[in-house]
Amino acid sequence: MENQSAYNMGLAGKTALVTGGTKGIGQAIADQLAQAGATVIVTARNPPGDTNPTHHFIAADLARAGQAAELVREIHDTVGQVDILINNAGGITSPGGGFSALTDTDWENELQLNLMAAIRLDRELLPGMLDRKSGVIIHISTSSGKQPLWDVNMAYATAKAALNCYSKALSNEVSGKGVRVLAVSPGAVKTLAVEQLVQSFAATAGISIEAASEGLMNKMGGIPIGRPADPEEIAAFVHFIVSPAASYLTGSNYFVDGGGLSGV
């Protein structure tokens, strides 16, 4: 078979940075990339309670201007270049309830964490990738970026929709220069953050956890496969698209949502 290396999913000799890499999807991605042979750096605001001892942890709050540059300086001083960047840090920080429940501060916080954090880190790491004519940048988004829930995640979904647009624009700019840029939009995933979202929705609506969970799934259009994803399933897909096996993939936003309507 010609070009055997094109089907290689190994990452030996590569260094990956995973933001928000101490729990949930980020931790699963970090573990998966380490298993594939990559040197993995994880960053989050707080040190992990428990994490893979092979990961290098560096504390950073990427929602704050200036933290991205400090993080990258420390990485360059201690580890060296970054070949794979997983912009996973994000989450819902604002209340539900629709437009009237959201203040300017709520909107600003969502944009800083879910959009600007990735933009700032890309800005710091892209020059080196372009110089080497090699690199992969992944933006972890959400299916809500296409199918928002007005009473649950309006500001968050809006910020992620902007991230999707930015990701495509950045890909158009740099893909011809050796750097691949892609977005991944999970649907419902079995993480602590999703459990907390369900609890918050239940409390706001005055309903049971079971009813809240069913209601959220219905709002998302249902899950044809019949269950939320495990974080490891999202991580397996991310491993594939950052590997040499996916060398022709760039510019796309992949919906990993069990066949949900958001991917139509």
pLDDT tens across 153-174, in order?
999 999 999 999 999 999 999 9
Share of the chain above pLDDT 70, in %: 94
Q: According to the model, what pLDDT value does residue 14 have?
A: 98
Distance CA 234, CA 60 (A): 24
Q: Which residues pair with 44 in a beta bridge?
A: 59
Distance CA 157, CA 111 (A): 10
Average pLDDT, the chain: 91
Token pair, residue 49, equals 């309670």
* Residue 194 or 231, more confident: 231
**pLDDT confidence tier of residue 262, bands split at 50, 70 and 90:** low
Mean pLDDT of 3-14: 76
CA dihedral 216, 220, 221, 222 (to 10 degrees): -60
Of residues 156, 166, 248, 254, which has the active-site annotation? 156
Longest dimension (CA), the chain: 60
- Concerning whether 7 is annotated as a catalytic residue, the answer is no
Q: What is the mean pLDDT of residues 113-123?
A: 98
Nearest-angstrom CA–CA distance, 205 and 214? 13
